[in-house]
Amino acid sequence: MMEYDKILKILKQEMAAAMGCTEPVAIAYASAKARAVLGRKPDRARVNVSCNILKNAMGVGIPGTDMAGLEMAAALGIIGGDSEAILEVLHSITPEHIAEAKAFAENCVEVSLEDTPKKLYIEVILETQGHSASVTIEDSHTNITRIVHDLICIYDKSGCEELPTEEYDRSVLTVDSIYDFIKHVDSSELEFLDGCIKMNWAIAQEGLKRGYGLNVGRSIYDDIRSGAAADDVQNYAIAVTAAAADARMAGCAMSVMTVCGSGNQGLTATLPVIAAVYKRNGSSELLYRSLALSCLITIHVKSYIGKLSPLCGCGMGSSIGACCAFVYMQGGGLGQIKRAINNMIADVSGIICDGAKAGCALKIATVISSAFQCSMLALKNYGAGELDGIVSGDVESTIRNLGELGNRGMADTDQVILDMMVCR
């Protein structure tokens, strides 16, 4: 029972609400926190970030605006951000804030690439006449590790805690332990997932109603309604999830429930599962257990890949979780879930992350389609084996191999991608 408690705490810890893409929002959060420490509007701001943050923040829409970019994210956090709202820091932004922030971003914000081995690193330094404040975030999007006011360190992560960042031992997570948890946990323990269901379903419906980004989801949904595409579970799930990503990447000012610090991964781990259960008129209990399975498999896989990676987190993490949920909701057992994971890693491993942007909806649509295909094969007891590339006969070894591919095998990929994005 103690192990169940740990797994439940990990699940809750890795799910958090966020408004907008978590990389620019984390910059806005650090900036708002630094402004609160400084106590006044600064004359200038410097933002130092890691390669992965730069890659993921430069091309995505900022909530409530028609703009993108790290400079604007920082400026909005400074001008109108609510640092107490953490990843919903921009919830109260007004048109007046946007106009003021635009001028500040153009004239007073400087962004630089930090020489750091950390994949997730943000330092915001604010300066005004005779005073300064800086905030540093490392390793996860809300993990403030250092605050300095007028050259005096007033907060150091080694000395005290400001945010609830208690870590739970991830070694408790295996495919076997996750499946055992899903089968036996009291479903009432999973009712907290209602908030995730309502939040992510709402932005999906917004994406289906209005034109955002590349209109991937809405286009598929229109084809379903016109009869040009089959009105089946697969197409419906793809349309719903891609529509949410369309809206989010275009800067829709609606919050989503993240998984492993990523909104798109949260959408991909949850919305296909919700849509499939709704389409099949499944029970609330089935939805809770399927959702928890998808999110926990995502967390397990991502623990090897990392929060930010050269690999697409939706393709290499949350779509694998969704695939397992598709198997489970159709009566599949542990062996078939393991085959589903091996099938997915044989299929979609190697999809790159080239930053957060409108095209993420395309990748999400692709990997959800793969998840349905791989789940169908697994339910028929077909599974990729140890002769299939990086796949191993042992599913845990396959997952570790995927992590090695992302971290060691693609060590130079982020820099190559960033060079292409910056120099075009």
Give the confidence band of 271 by pLDDT, cuts at 50, 70, 90: very high
What is the model's pLDDT at position 180?
Answer: 96
Buried b / exposed e across 141-155, counting CB within 10 Å, b at 16+? bbbbbbbbbeeeeeb
Among the listed ranges 202-216, 245-259, 305-319, 389-403, which one has the minimum average pLDDT value?
305-319
Distance (Å, whole) CA 315 – CA 345: 9
Q: Read off the pLDDT band of 114 (50, 70, 90).
A: very high
pLDDT computed for residue 397 by the predictor: 95
Tell whether the model's pLDDT for residue 163 goes beyond 50.
Answer: no
What integer is the mean pLDDT of 313-334?
95
Instruction: Confirm if 78 and 47 have CB atoms less than 8 A apart.
Output: no
Phi/psi of residue 388, each to 5°?
-100, 75
Average pLDDT value for residue range 89-100:
93
Rounded Cα distance, 320 and 269, in Å = 8
pLDDT score recorded for residue 2: 66
C-alpha to C-alpha distance for 132 and 152, rounded to whole angstroms: 10
Mean pLDDT of 2-22: 88
Structure tokens at 254: 């609606």
How much is the pLDDT for 29? 96
**How high is the pLDDT of residue 120?**
92
Is 422 a residue whose pLDDT tops 80? no
How many alpha carbons fall within 13 Å on the CB side of residue 228? 6
End-to-end CA distance of the chain: 55
Q: How far apart are CA 192 and CA 7, in angstroms?
A: 14
- pTM for this entry: 0.87
Of 158 and 44, more confident: 44
Higher pLDDT: 56 or 397? It is: 397
As separate numbers, helices (DSSP H) first and strands (DSSP E) second, the chain gives 17, 8
Contact 265, 240 (CB under 8 A): no
Whole-angstrom distance, CA of residue 167 vs CA of residue 350? 29
| pLDDT (mean) for 149-159 | 84
Question: What's the angle, vertex CA 282, arms to CA 218 and CA 331, rounded to 5?
Answer: 110
pLDDT for the residue numbered 136: 97
Summarize the confidence of residues 120-134 as an average pLDDT: 95
Cα separation of 87 and 32, whole Å?
11
Please give the torsion angle defined by the CA atoms of residues 160, 164, 166 and 168, in that order, rounded to the nearest 10 degrees.
Answer: -170
pLDDT one-digit tens code per residue, 204-251: 999 999 989 999 999 999 999 999 999 999 999 999 999 999 999 998
Name the strand (E) or helix (H) holding 263.
helix 263-279
Q: What is the pLDDT of residue 182?
A: 97
Distance, CA of 302 to CA of 152 (rounded, Å): 36
pLDDT at 1 over 70: no
pLDDT-based confidence at 407, cuts 50/70/90? confident
In this predicted model, what pLDDT tens digit does every residue of 174-186 receive, in sequence order?
999 999 999 999 9
**For the segment 17-60, what is each residue's pLDDT rounded down to a tens digit?**
888 888 899 999 999 999 999 999 999 999 999 988 998 888 88
Buried b / exposed e over 281-292, threshold 16 CB at 10 Å, is eeeeebbbbbbb
Burial of 197 (0-12, 13-18, 19+ CB in 10 A): buried
- The C-alpha torsion from 28 through 32 and 33 to 38, rounded to 10°, is 140
Q: What is the pLDDT of residue 160?
A: 41
Q: pLDDT over 70 for what percent of the chain?
A: 96
Q: Are strands 255-259 and 15-19 parallel, antiparallel or unpaired?
A: antiparallel
Average pLDDT over residues 340-361: 91
Query: Alpha-carbon Rg of the chain, whole angstroms?
Result: 21
**Helix (H) or strand (E) segment spanning residue 230:** none
**Is the Cβ–Cβ distance between 308 and 273 less than 8 Å?**
no
Alpha-carbon distance 388 to 371, whole Å?
18
On average, the pLDDT of the chain sits at 91
pLDDT at residue 18, rounded to an integer = 87
Using the structure block, give the residue that is written with the tokens 């020489």: 115
Q: How many CB atoms lie within 10 A of CB 40?
A: 11
- Spatial separation of the C-alpha atoms in residues 182 and 73, rounded to whole Å: 39
